[in-house]
């Protein structure tokens, strides 16, 4: 208040005042909330807040502190001051995780901050990684060639690991001839895409590459697997070997001069590589033969497929020409006009083949110059059948087993199928027919004719030295080599052999020396243990006892007996000697200068523990060890687990 005193003229007084803004009391969100943006990038709209006092006046120069929430990137600047309108703004760069993210603005003195939220989406740059270890390469446990390598799963993410939905191409590149169940697969909400990989029939390392179908230049992911083989059976030729695997495929290795490897070429190989296919060295699963039996001779191989067809390759025989790819053999009875025969067993030799039908009735075809087809044809000379015809053996009598040598054959009639009175238990005594010049028919003759009215095309029981009363032979032990044969007695397991003995392959001393050594009557192998299986090569013989222990005798100049030493070509050994190994075998197969075996127990099916070992000459890689070095004791064939 102003009071005027004294004798003054009255005048006006003016007061002025400046009203200041009150303290900041309200913080409000202006813009920038609820945006959507790509991870690790700045949102398109800045974050803006406004500061006012209690009367609604803008507060300028007030510090605003910005902060991003956990996994929410960063807001810059960290601190800002309001402008004349009370506004403060900031740029929000989102975090790298594709989730709902948050940021806040706070002002000192104002209790409640302003919150912002944003939705972060995955980066547009995608990549594929192998789930769940998130690598780009992975080595899988080895699996059977032609078998399943398992399920392959990838995770599609951006560069920060955020899952993305996209299409994966699982067949960018597949080596080894395998295939996947699904080629193009869209990832699910979890970013995962899966397919199953079936390995190709090629032994060794196989690879599969996958990448985003929408980004053909993106970095691929790579799986590798080692395809292996598990053999259930083998067939050894003179200088090559073919094995039947647990996946019913056939692999061959060794000499290939006449196409006996069935690979569409004449190139040798020193280990299992590609399954035999109907197209040249094909790696396509659809073309590989699927077989249930394999049989071999000097330079040819035949198989019975799962579809009951017969395919052969290598040196031609009968009406089949020489071929380096499988040729279908006509397996129709007699005149060849009937349906395909149901085959229980199939055997091939150098120039003829025989089969046993489901009924036991048997048929042979091919060369018949020595009566080796057993069709009781008149001769000699004997007439070979026409193309594709399979004459009946022994007038349609039933057989349990037939085995083939070079130009001769032997077999057993089915048990108790013979007429009584012929020979005691005669259905358990081998019959032989064909070439007998070295006594290999076991009929006490060394010619191709037997006293009239019979001849060498008629199956006759072998004769046995000092025939024990009621002797019987185990048909499963029947084995034929080039010009000798063997079988073991049922009760004792003693091996009896007959035929050529130039290298001691009969396991005993015989009349004559060198190429003149022979015996046309079966005699016991000296020192024979109790054998449950016998096997014959060209000039050597081996047997297995009940526990799978292998013993061999005969020619051994290349170590084919597996006894750890060699003997000279002209002598061999007639001493039965255990193979130098602790391995036990379920089966053996013998060639001219080498021997192979499948480990296990005789009479027990091959299993996941079974492996093939070979020994002897390896001049052409027939031992399958990846080289041409000969060995004197069993060596494991490459390509197996």
- Interval 155-182: pLDDT, tens: 999 999 999 999 999 999 999 889 999 9
Higher local confidence (pLDDT), 416 or 130? 130
Residue 385 lies in a domain: yes
From 391, 457, 470, select the one nearest 429 (Cα to Cα). 470
Say whether both 354 and 429 belong to one domain: yes
pLDDT given at position 335? 47
Say whether both 101 and 180 belong to one domain: no
Say whether both 136 and 58 belong to one domain: no
pLDDT at residue 457 tops 70: yes
Say whether both 81 and 39 belong to one domain: yes
Say whether both 89 and 70 belong to one domain: yes
Q: What is the pLDDT of residues 77-101, one digit of tens each?
A: 999 999 999 999 999 999 999 999 9
Q: pTM of the predicted model, to two decimals?
A: 0.85
**Average pLDDT value for residue range 444-451:** 70
Residue 130 lies in a domain: yes
Segments forming the whole domain that contains residue 368 = 330-453
Residue 504 lies in a domain: no
Buried b (16+ CB within 10 A) or exposed e, 136-149: eeeebeebbbbbeb
Residue 393 lies in a domain: yes
Say whether both 87 and 180 belong to one domain: no
Residue 617 lies in a domain: no
Residue 39 lies in a domain: yes
Per DSSP, the three-state class of 395 is helix
Q: What is the pLDDT of residues 218-245, one digit of tens each?
A: 899 999 999 999 999 999 999 999 999 9
**Helix, strand, coil % in the chain, rounded to nearest 5:** 0, 45, 55
Work out the mean pLDDT of the chain and round it to a whole number: 91
The top-scoring range by mean pLDDT among 17-26, 198-207, 417-426, 451-460 is 198-207
pLDDT given at position 9? 55
Euclidean distance between CA atoms 501 and 271, whole angstroms: 33
CATH number of the domain to which 221 belongs: 2.60.40.10
Q: What is the pLDDT of residues 55-75, one digit of tens each?
A: 999 999 999 999 999 999 999
Say whether both 75 and 115 belong to one domain: yes
Residue 148 lies in a domain: yes
Query: What CA dihedral angle connects 310, 313, 315 and 318, to 10 degrees?
Result: 20
Euclidean distance between CA atoms 416 and 429, whole angstroms: 11
The domain boundary, picked from 228, 262, 277, lies at 228
Q: What is the pLDDT of residues 406-441, one digit of tens each?
A: 999 999 999 887 766 555 457 899 999 999 999 999
pLDDT given at position 416? 82
Euclidean distance between CA atoms 575 and 466, whole angstroms: 21
pLDDT given at position 393? 95
Give ∠ CA 41-47-48 in degrees, rounded to 5: 165
pLDDT given at position 19? 61
Say whether both 42 and 151 belong to one domain: no
pLDDT given at position 496? 97
Number of domains in the chain: 3
Say whether both 337 and 417 belong to one domain: yes
The domain boundary, picked from 395, 428, 453, lies at 453
The domain boundary, picked from 182, 210, 228, lies at 228
Say whether both 46 and 142 belong to one domain: no
Residue 538 lies in a domain: no
């Amino acid at each position: 208040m102003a009071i005027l005193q004294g004798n003054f003229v009255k005048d006006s007084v003016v007061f002025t005042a400046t009203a200041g803004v009150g303290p900041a009391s309200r913080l409000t969100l202006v813009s920038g909330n609820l945006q959507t943006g790509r991870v690790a990038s700045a949102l398109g709209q800045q974050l803006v807040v406004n500061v006012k006092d209690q009367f609604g006046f803008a507060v300028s120069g007030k510090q605003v502190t910005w902060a991003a929430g956990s996994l929410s990137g960063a807001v810059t600047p960290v601190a800002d001051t309001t402008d004349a309108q009370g506004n403060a703004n900031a740029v929000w760069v989102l975090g790298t995780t594709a989730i709902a993210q948050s940021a806040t603005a706070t002002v000192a003195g104002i209790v409640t901050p302003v919150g912002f939220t944003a939705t972060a989406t995955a980066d547009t740059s995608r990549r594929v990684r192998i789930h769940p270890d998130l690598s780009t390469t992975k080595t899988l446990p080895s699996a059977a060639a032609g078998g399943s390598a398992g399920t392959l799963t990838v995770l599609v993410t951006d560069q920060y690991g955020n899952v993305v939905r996209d299409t994966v191409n699982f067949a960018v590149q597949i080596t080894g001839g395998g295939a996947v169940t699904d080629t193009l697969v869209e990832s699910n909400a979890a970013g995962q895409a899966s397919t199953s990989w079936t390995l190709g029939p090629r032994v060794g390392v196989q690879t599969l590459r996958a990448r985003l179908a929408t980004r053909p230049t993106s970095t691929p992911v790579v799986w590798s697997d080692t395809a292996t083989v598990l053999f259930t059976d083998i067939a050894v030729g003179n200088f090559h070997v073919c094995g039947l695997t647990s996946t019913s495929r056939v692999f061959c290795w060794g000499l290939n001069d006449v196409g006996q490897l069935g690979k569409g070429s004449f190139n040798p190989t020193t280990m299992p590589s590609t399954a035999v296919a109907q197209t040249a060295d094909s790696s396509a699963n659809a073309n590989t033969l699927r077989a249930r039996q394999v049989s071999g001779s000097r330079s040819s191989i035949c198989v019975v497929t799962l579809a009951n067809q017969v395919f052969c390759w290598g040196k031609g025989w009968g009406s089949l020409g020489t071929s380096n790819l499988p040729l279908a053999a006509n397996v129709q009875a007699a005149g060849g006009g009937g349906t395909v025969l149901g085959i229980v067993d199939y055997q091939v030799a150098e120039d003829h083949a025989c089969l046993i039908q489901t009924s036991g009735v048997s048929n042979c075809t091919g060369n018949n110059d020595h009566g080796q087809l057993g069709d009781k044809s008149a001769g000699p000379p004997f007439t070979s059948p026409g193309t594709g015809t399979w004459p009946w053996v022994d007038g349609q009598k039933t057989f349990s087993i037939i085995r083939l040598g070079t130009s001769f054959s032997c077999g057993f009639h089915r048990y108790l199928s013979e007429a009584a009175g012929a020979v005691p238990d005669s259905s358990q005594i081998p019959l032989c027919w064909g070439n007998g010049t070295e006594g290999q028919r076991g009929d006490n003759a060394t010619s191709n004719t037997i006293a009239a009215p019979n001849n060498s095309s008629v199956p006759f029981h072998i004769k046995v030295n000092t025939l024990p009363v009621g002797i019987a032979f185990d048909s499963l032990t029947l084995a034929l080599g080039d010009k000798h044969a063997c079988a073991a007695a049922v009760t004792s397991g003693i091996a009896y052999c007959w035929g050529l003995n130039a290298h001691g392959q009969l396991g005993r001393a015989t009349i004559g020396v060198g190429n003149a050594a022979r015996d046309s009557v079966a005699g016991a192998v000296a020192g024979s243990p109790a054998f449950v299986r016998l096997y014959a090569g060209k000039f050597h013989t081996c047997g297995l006892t009940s526990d799978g222990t292998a013993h061999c005798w005969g020619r051994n100049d290349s170590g084919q007996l597996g006894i750890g030493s060699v003997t000279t070509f002209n002598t061999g050994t007639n001493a039965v000697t255990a193979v130098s190994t602790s391995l036990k075998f379920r089966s053996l197969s013998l060639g001219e200068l080498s021997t192979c075996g499948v480990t296990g127990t005789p009479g027990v099916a091959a299993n996941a523990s079974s492996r093939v070992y070979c020994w002897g000459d390896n001049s052409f890689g027939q031992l399958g060890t990846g080289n041409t070095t000969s060995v004197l004791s069993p060596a494991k064939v490459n390509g197996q687990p």
